[in-house]
Amino acid sequence: MISLFLRRSAVLLFVLCSSFAVGFSGEGDTELAAKLQTHIKYLASDELEGRGSGSAGNRKAAEYIAGFFKQNNIPPLGSSYFQEFNVPTSIAIADGNKFALEITVQQVGVPIDQAKPVKVNWKVGNEYTPLSFSENGTATGKLIFAGYGISAPDLKYDDFEGIDVKGNFIIVVRGTPEGDDNHGKFSSYASLRSKMLTAREKGAAGIIFISGAGDGADSLMELTMGTSDKNSGLIALHAKRMAASKLFPRDRPLVSADAQIIKTKKPNSFEIQSLKLTVNVQLTRVESPTSNVIAVVRGTNPALANEYIVAGAHYDHLGWGEEGTLYSGKEKKIHYGADDNASGTAGIMELASIVSHNPMERPVVFMLFSGEEHGLLGSAYYVKNPIIPLENTVCMLNLDMIGRLKENKINVQGVGTSSRWQSLIDSLGKVYSFTISTSADGFGPSDHSSFFGKDRPVLFVFTGLHSDYHRPTDTWDKINYEGETTVVRFAESVLRTISHTAEKPDFIKVKSTTQTTGGFKVSIGIIPDYSDNPKGLKITGVREGGPAERAGLQGDDIITKFGSTTIKNIYDYTAVLGQCKAGEKLKITVLRGPKEDKEVVLEVIPEAKK
């Protein structure tokens, strides 16, 4: 009976809060929209240069947020508004790199063990370059040609069979024996990372990649920092094919060894005799300081003083687009990130101001994260170094890309992480006349994932992807400020309902469907809807002038088959897309219509990713 009474009380309080939120319109909402615009115009300005983590613009953004909190008498959660940590910002070749060869050449009349080895040194940046995921350090060993570096006994193919690579270097060809066949049986073994991990598991001291024969074989890969470039425990290099070919014996030249594998689809690995290799790799990974910005509004109920609600958003973006950009132009441009995520940042700032003037029963912590675009670094840092114990965190509400409300449609993810969420979101959706698509999963491509990974209930609100995503065209003038105002009011009602409900939301460990996917060579130009759909992958729209538009795909279509593969979710789709070739005609089956039951078969031609 007590629980039933509490639930009824919570519902009544929820209705009152919701009615208050809806009634708080007119001049109040006009003023809020103007404030949101002021924040977004500054955060997405030329001065802040895209707010790249660790940059001067990123620091200015953090100071702006902290200044706003201070001006509105919203205190920091700890001793400072800033929770500092470091982010990787660049990688460079340091002094001390070495690639030294000792080649013993058989001479007439001289025993091989008495022959004096010839010493050859390669120059970094000329014959070879370290790769960004290489380990720093020195290793010496023999050099072994290991074909394509693939170990797939289940496919009756193993480049490592019959050779001992332990403690030695292997030289492998990039790609697979099937060439550009992305649908081939070896396609999942083609990545550099996959080959590196196999080499490490086999005990190799280092791996040297060379390109296959053809144009570009003597172009070195660019040394660039990636989000997952951590030391790998293995020395990893890329060498020019011409330079590498000179190391092979005359009776087993590289061109023949490679061609034989391609022709027979059988391994052709061997030790390159009379050769000793010493490699020293020295890379400098530059890290720069950045900060999460954290403030708190204390609650009004002393009994709930240690039950904190977290409301957060990330304020960093891509800077000049050095990493993560979808921009195809040659001229470097600022990636302003007005929707991603100046919109969410402005929303959290104004929510903090609203709550500070009308506090809730539970305390609310307002967190603005940096490092999200590098892989959720800021939120991950916080949950590893919480200012308040995580067990005192009731839940986390995340706002990311809330500035492009269209047709009153929003997406809310994480609704499966508490038994309270679905009914809460459904009820509020009616109050605000939103059409809400939901996903149960607590993992996703934003900062709520860090909290869900620590068994905290989460909710993630966003208004959908668009063609300006991760491009310089994501500018302040394209934000729907009236729409964002409504989203902020919706978020306020979510917070108030949670805060005034006596029982804390329970936690459910939802089985995640999130998978890691690599980059794509091709695109068809759809904008996915990330919510769950039992029929397939629903799309919110298509990019203007793209293959999908030319094929006749439309917003709200549900993709059920791509080529010969059944599509049940975005991960099925991305897996197929990663194997497609540009210019290859493919059938794509969609469901459309008000009942989503009209099957339409179209023909799409993927184009090379620009």
Whether the pLDDT of residue 82 is over 50: the answer is yes
- What are phi and psi for residue 165, nearest 5 degrees? -95, -5
Predicted confidence band of residue 50 (pLDDT cuts 50, 70, 90): very high
130 vs 116, residue with greater confidence: 130
Closest CA to 130 of 142, 138, 119: 138
Q: How many whole angstroms separate alpha carbon 255 and alpha carbon 251?
A: 11
Which residues have CB under 8 Å from 222's CB, separation 6+? none
pLDDT tens track for 561-608: 998 777 877 766 876 787 688 899 999 999 999 889 999 999 999 998
Predicted confidence band of residue 107 (pLDDT cuts 50, 70, 90): low
Whether the pLDDT of residue 5 is over 90: the answer is no
515 vs 82, residue with greater confidence: 82
pLDDT on residue 323: 78
- State the burial class of residue 182 (Cβ atoms within 10 Å of its Cβ: 0-12, 13-18, 19+): middle
Q: How many whole angstroms separate alpha carbon 312 and alpha carbon 315?
A: 10
Average of per-residue pLDDT across 430-455: 91
Question: Are the C-beta atoms of residues 208 and 232 closer than 8 Å to each other?
Answer: no
Would you call 355 helix, strand, or coil by DSSP? helix
Which residue pairs, CB below 8 angstroms and at least 24 apart, start in 104-110? 104/274, 104/275, 105/274, 106/274
pLDDT tens track for 183-200: 788 887 888 877 887 887
346 vs 530, residue with greater confidence: 346
Whether the pLDDT of residue 115 is over 70: the answer is no
Percentage of residues in the chain having pLDDT higher than 70: 89
Could you tell me the CA-to-CA distances from 94 to 129, 223, 403, 427 in Å, in that order? 12, 12, 43, 59
Percentage of residues in the chain having pLDDT higher than 90: 66
Predicted confidence band of residue 209 (pLDDT cuts 50, 70, 90): very high
Question: Are the C-beta atoms of residues 407 and 541 closer than 8 Å to each other?
Answer: no
- What are phi and psi for residue 202, nearest 5 degrees? -85, -5
Q: How many whole angstroms separate alpha carbon 269 and alpha carbon 177?
A: 13
Q: Cα torsion at 142, 147, 149, 155 (round to 10°)?
A: -140
Question: Are the C-beta atoms of residues 323 and 126 closer than 8 Å to each other?
Answer: no
Predicted confidence band of residue 133 (pLDDT cuts 50, 70, 90): confident
What is the chain's mean pLDDT, rounded? 88
Q: Are strands 558-562 and 169-173 parallel, antiparallel or unpaired?
A: unpaired
Residue identified by tokens 């550009």 is 180
Which CATH fold would you assign to the domain 2-89+287-500? Aminopeptidase (3.40.630)
Q: Within 13 Å and on the Cβ side, how many CA atoms surround 61?
A: 40
> Could you tell me the CATH superfamily of domain 522-608?
PDZ domain (2.30.42.10)
Whether the pLDDT of residue 21 is over 50: the answer is no
Which residues have CB under 8 Å from 141's CB, separation 6+? 167, 168, 169, 205, 206, 276, 277
pLDDT on residue 471: 96
pTM over cut 0.85: no
Q: How far apart are the first and last CA of the chain?
A: 62
Q: What is the DSSP string of 55-119?
A: SHHHHHHHHHHHHHHHHTT--BSSSSSEEEEEEEEEEEE-TT-EEEEEE---BTTB-GGGSPPEE
Helix (H) or strand (E) holding 203: none
Which stretch of 50-54, 295-299, 349-353, 377-381 has the lowest confidence by average pLDDT? Answer: 377-381
And the tokens for 229? 């470039």
Whether the pLDDT of residue 2 is over 50: the answer is no
Question: Are the C-beta atoms of residues 297 and 364 closer than 8 Å to each other?
Answer: yes
Closest CA to 447 of 536, 510, 373: 373
Whether the pLDDT of residue 340 is over 90: the answer is yes
Whether the pLDDT of residue 131 is over 70: the answer is yes
pLDDT tens track for 373-419: 987 889 989 998 999 999 999 999 999 999 999 999 999 999 999 99
Residues in the chain: 610
Q: How far is CA 301 from the centre of its chain?
A: 39
pLDDT on residue 195: 87
Query: Where in the chain are the domains?
Result: 2-89+287-500, 96-281, 522-608
Whether the pLDDT of residue 322 is over 80: the answer is no
And the tokens for 109? 């009349």
Which stretch of 128-142, 278-292, 535-549 has the lowest confidence by average pLDDT? Answer: 535-549
Which DSSP category does 330 fall into?
S
248 vs 222, residue with greater confidence: 248
Could you tell me the CA-to-CA distances from 270 to 101, 144, 165, 242 in Å, in that order? 18, 6, 10, 19
Question: Are the C-beta atoms of residues 494 and 394 closer than 8 Å to each other?
Answer: no
pLDDT on residue 516: 38
The arrangement of secondary structure in 96-281, i.e. its CATH architecture, is 3-Layer(bba) Sandwich (3.50)
Q: How many whole angstroms separate alpha carbon 604 and alpha carbon 549?
A: 9
Predicted confidence band of residue 111 (pLDDT cuts 50, 70, 90): low
